[in-house]
């Protein structure tokens, strides 16, 4: 029975899993990937199983997974070739970002969000997992290690490549970028990745690298010798095209999308409502107390009362902190924000006294409101980054 569809999310990432005769591991791997993304991935996703003309029960397993799991689809190709499968799915994708990973899930899935995040933000155009970084943790035999390092060294020395690992089966790209580059990529098999990356670099596109934890699949059926020969032929072909001055491809520009930090979109409306209510309360108290005490003293008392109420309200409704644990500390630290507000508004009133001696209560109130507007911004930033920062709570519990 198909699982319930998760709530719609604003951005979409499509992950392609190319397979050829993988009936033994396909179901387990896709279920694991689906469960991981459902539980941890903060964006919408679609998993597409691309069957490369399998001759076993792979297609039957793939279509069964499509019926069973939400966000899982399957496509069938009559001709083999990993590059061909990726081209087929990526060229028709409507996702914001397209990606692929090997069916054995050799790469730790915790690297997936760091892989696609720079693409979704517009910071980078393509992203690759790298097993050759100092921060990577790789378990594989010496033969594969030697071949991989030799191949990538050859790419850097002969082709001028700046990326470190062309062969890791863990890559992603902005869909509009990939769809612009695909017509110029000729390879349909294992060199497809390398050719795409080389072409991207020739066009000045930004390639983001993520160190990964990677465990070699001992059951891998890749023909290393044949693949190496095909890669060398592919490098020679790309070099000839580069030297011949092939026409540049009109790739879309990188777009920087202005995005609020995590959680701020939800916190700002609540903080604003509480701020308005506290400002009105502060103004009312100030006008009331102004008739029995000097303006500076009236402002200090009014600000103190409303600061306590403001901290308590934001603690509960803006930052979602409940219970008594840490309440006193929050009030004391919120008091620091109160002092900032007191200094700003008191300074404003003092300056007003020098510039406009004998100013009316209305003018004084306007000066207090202006000073409080700046104090409110400072208070929000202090509360978000310091007083109610969830990292402090996690650190205290260790």
Catalytic residues: 193
- Taking residue 96's Cβ as centre, other Cβ atoms within 10 Å add up to 18
Q: Which two tokens stand for residue 210?
A: 């993520």
Count of beta carbons in the 10 Å neighbourhood of residue 25: 16
Rounded Cα distance between 385 and 392, Å, is 10
Instruction: State the Cα–Cα distance between residues 52 and 134, nearest whole angstrom.
Output: 34
Radius of gyration of the chain (CA): 29
Q: Are residues 200 and 126 in contact, defined by beta-carbon separation less than 8 angstroms? A: yes
Q: At what angle do helices 295-313 and 361-382 cross, to 10 degrees?
A: 30
Residue with tokens 């899930």: 105
The H or E element containing residue 392 is helix 390-396
Please give the C-alpha separations between residue 342 and each of 22, 137, 273, 373, in angstroms, as whole numbers.
Answer: 68, 52, 21, 12
Give the closest residue to 81 by CA, choosing from 128, 18, 175.
Answer: 18
């Amino acid at each position: 029975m198909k699982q319930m569809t998760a709530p719609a999310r604003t951005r979409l990432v499509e992950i392609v899993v190319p397979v050829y005769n993988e009936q033994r591991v396909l179901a387990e791997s896709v279920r694991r990937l689906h469960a991981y993304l459902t539980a941890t991935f903060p964006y919408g996703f679609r998993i597409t199983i691309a069957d490369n003309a399998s001759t076993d029960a792979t297609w039957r397993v793939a279509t069964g997974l499509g019926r069973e799991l939400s966000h899982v689809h399957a496509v069938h190709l009559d001709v083999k070739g990993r590059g061909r499968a990726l081209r087929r799915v990526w060229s028709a994708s409507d996702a914001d970002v397209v990606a692929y990973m090997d069916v054995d899930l050799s790469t730790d899935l915790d690297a997936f969000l760091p892989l696609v995040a720079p693409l979704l933000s517009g910071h980078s155009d393509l992203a690759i997992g790298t097993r050759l970084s100092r921060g990577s943790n790789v378990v594989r035999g010496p033969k594969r290690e030697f071949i991989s390092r030799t191949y990538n060294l050859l790419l850097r020395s002969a082709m001028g490549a700046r990326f470190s690992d062309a062969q890791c089966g863990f890559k992603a790209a902005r869909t509009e970028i990939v769809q612009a580059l695909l017509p110029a990529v000729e390879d349909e098999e294992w060199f497809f990745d390398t050719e795409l990356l080389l072409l991207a670099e020739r066009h000045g596109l930004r390639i983001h690298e993520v160190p990964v934890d990677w465990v070699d699949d001992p059951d891998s059926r890749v023909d290393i010798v044949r693949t190496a020969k095909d890669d060398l032929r592919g490098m020679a072909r790309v070099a000839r095209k580069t030297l011949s001055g092939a026409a540049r491809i009109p790739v879309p520009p990188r777009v920087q999308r202005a995005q609020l930090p995590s959680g701020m979109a939800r916190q700002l409306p609540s903080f604003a409502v509480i701020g308005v209510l506290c400002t009105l309360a502060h103004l009312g108290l100030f006008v009331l107390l102004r008739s029995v005490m000097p303006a500076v003293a009236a402002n200090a008392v009014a600000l103190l009362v409303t600061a306590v109420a403001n901290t308590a309200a934001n603690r509960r409704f803006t930052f979602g902190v409940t219970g008594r644990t840490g309440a006193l500390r929050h009030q004391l630290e919120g008091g620091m924000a109160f002092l900032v507000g007191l200094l700003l508004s008191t300074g404003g009133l003092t300056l007003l006294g020098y510039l406009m001696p004998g100013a009316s209560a209305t003018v004084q109130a306007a000066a207090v409101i202006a000073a409080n507007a700046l104090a409110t911004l400072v208070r929000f930033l202090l509360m978000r980054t310091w007083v109610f920062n969830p990292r402090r709570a996690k650190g205290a519990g260790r």
